[in-house]
Every structure is written in structure tokens, then in C-alpha cells.
Amino acid sequence: GQQLNQSPQSMFIQEGEDVSMNCTSSSIFNTWLWYKQDPGEGPVLLIALYKAGELTSNGRLTAQFGITRKDSFLNISASIPSDVGIYFCAGHDTGTASKLTFGTGTRLQVTL
Amino acid sequence: DVKVTQSSRYLVKRTGEKVFLECVQDMDHENMFWYRQDPGLGLRLIYFSYDVKMKEKGDIPEGYSVSREKKERFSLILESASTNQTSMYLCASSLGGSSNQPQHFGDGTRLSIL
């Protein structure tokens, strides 16, 4: 199946720094979702985006649905140690009702 | 909050055994999904279901089957387990009616086939 291009693959940052990651697709998406997965756990939904141009925040996290409907980004401000994990983007494209396409993940490491 | 519960966090089985992975959701969701997650390969869809007794193949259905006898429960079956089925298995559910509902995941079952 299709996968989204997600970058960067991994990041090593210091506590307090801001983080930015993004996802791109070759096809138009109706929905963009961002998940976080802790080691040994299942992905947890962070933010859901439903409209092109939409900008949504959840605490220190902010995500945007790109105007072209082919991309999305996630920003984390003032990172803390518990932000460590793998962040996945996912989306519904126009032809696969209810099925999600997933990004390859961004592994975030935060150093003190 | 949506609760998706997978019956086992860790499971060890032998080659050739029939293995059942169970998933239950408590939010009356129509859609349920089974994925496997492997390093470097991301999440891959095995099977999904839009309704009771209904199932559709995902991207990698070979070697697996599923059962959905009740709306809240979706079972993944490995008919004859093989070592290449050692993986993290994730169950998810979502509301039906619209194609854009987010999926909510369980904590996963880490399955080892010896």
C-alpha cells in the first residue's frame, strides 16, 4: 500500500527547543491525522485536521492541513523529555474510504 | 474516551500453532482494523471490517483470517503460525458513516513465533 513521505526520519534535540516535522503525499487527502507512539504502546491520536488550511493546537502541539491538501506539518514548542517517541502522520485520501495511509514516522529524542 | 483493548500485551507461540488475537472496543464503532508493525516497514493493514460479519482484505492478508461476530469484537487468526509472523499487532477502530473519522488504537500485542 501507499505510504506518506514523512521527514525527518529522526531528530535529536535539547529540552526546550521547538520541533517541526512534515508529511507529503502525491495525492489529495481529505483528512490529516497526527499520532504519537511510545515504546511498546499503540499510537495515540494527537490532532485531527479536516479542512485545507486548518491550523489546530493541542497544548504545545500545533498542526496544519496544507492548502494543496497534499501536505501537513506538526510543530512541538518547548520540548520536554516526555515528548520522546515516534510521531506518525496519517490521512484519508479521496479513494480509500475509512482506510488510513500512514507516514513512515519521525523518531524524536530529547536530551536534557 | 475511546477504549480499544487487546487481549494480550505479549504472546509467545510455536510454529504451526493456530493463534487468536482478540480486540474489543467500547465506543460502538462500526469500523475495525488489524495492522502489523515492523521496523522499517511502518504500519501495514492486514484486514478490516465495516460491520458485523463483514471483512475486507488489506494490503497483507496472506496467512491471516479474521472474525467479526459482534460489533465490539474483531479477532485476528493466524491459521498456522510461522516465524515471519513475529511482529507487533495493532487493532484500531473508528466511527462509520463518514470516511474521515480518525482511528483509535489499542496498546498492541507483541507476538513471537518460535
Our measurement of the distance from residue B83's CA atom to the centroid of its chain's CA atoms, rounded to an integer in Å, reads 18
Q: Report pLDDT digits (tens) over B61-75.
A: 999 999 999 999 999
Cβ contact, residue pair A102, B43, below 8 Å: yes
Q: What is the DSSP string of chain B?
A: ---EEES-SEEEE-TT--EEEEEEESS--SEEEEEEEETTTEEEEEEEESSTT--EE-S--TTEEEEEEETTEEEEEESS--GGG-EEEEEEEE-SSSTTPPPEE---EEEEE-
Q: Report pLDDT digits (tens) over A1-51.
A: 567 899 999 999 999 999 999 999 988 888 999 999 998 899 999 999 999
- Which residue of chain B is at minimal alpha-carbon distance from A31? B100
Partner A contacted by B103 (CB < 8 A): yes
Over 80: is that where the pLDDT of B76 sits? yes
Among B23, B35, B43, B74, the strongest candidate for a mutation testing the A interface, having the largest count of A CBs within 10 A, is B43
What distance in Å separates residue A92's CA from the closest CA in chain B?
Answer: 6
Chain A residues lying within 8 Å of B58, measured CB to CB: 1, 99
Cβ contact, residue pair A31, B100, below 8 Å: yes
pLDDT of A12 reads: 95
pLDDT of A13 reads: 94
**Terminal Cα distance for chain B, rounded:** 37
Chain A residues lying within 8 Å of B94, measured CB to CB: 98
Chain A interface residues (partner B, CB cutoff 8 A): 1, 3, 30-31, 33, 35, 40-45, 48, 50, 88, 90, 92, 96-100, 102-105
For chain B, the average pLDDT equals 93
The x, y and z cell numbers of residue B106, run together, are 489499542
CA distance B88 to B36: 6
Partner A contacted by B11 (CB < 8 A): no
Q: Report pLDDT digits (tens) over B27-37.
A: 999 999 999 99
Q: Report pLDDT digits (tens) over A66-105.
A: 999 999 999 999 999 999 999 999 998 766 567 888 998 9
Chain B residues lying within 8 Å of A45, measured CB to CB: 102-104
Partner A contacted by B99 (CB < 8 A): yes
